[in-house]
Amino acid sequence: MNESPVENTLRDNLQQVRERIAAAAAQYGRPADDITLVGVTKYVDADVAAALARAGCHHLGESRPQELWHKASSIENPDIVWHQVGHLQRNKVARTLEYAAVIHSVDSLRLTRAIDRMAGEKNMTTRILLEVNVSGESAKQGFDADELRNDVGEINGLTHIQLAGLMCMAGLGLDEGQTREQFASLRMLRDELAGQLPDASHFGELSMGMSGDFEWAIAEGATIVRIGSILFEGLL
Ligand SMILES: *Cc1c(COP(=O)(O)O)cnc(C)c1O
**Best mutation site among 42, 207, 208 for ligand 1 pocket (most ligand atoms within 8 Å of CB):** 42
The per-residue pLDDT for 138 is: 79
The per-residue pLDDT for 173 is: 92
**Mean pLDDT, range 61-68, rounded to an integer:** 98
Domains and CATH numbers, the chain: 5-232 (3.20.20.10)
The per-residue pLDDT for 2 is: 60
Q: Quick check: 1 pLDDT over 60?
A: no
Of residues 50, 128, 49, the one with CA closest to residue 88: 128
| pTM of the entire predicted model | 0.97
Q: Is the CB of 226 under 6 A from ligand 1?
A: yes
**Mean pLDDT, range 37-42, rounded to an integer:** 98
For residue 199, the CA-to-ligand 1 centroid distance in Å is 31
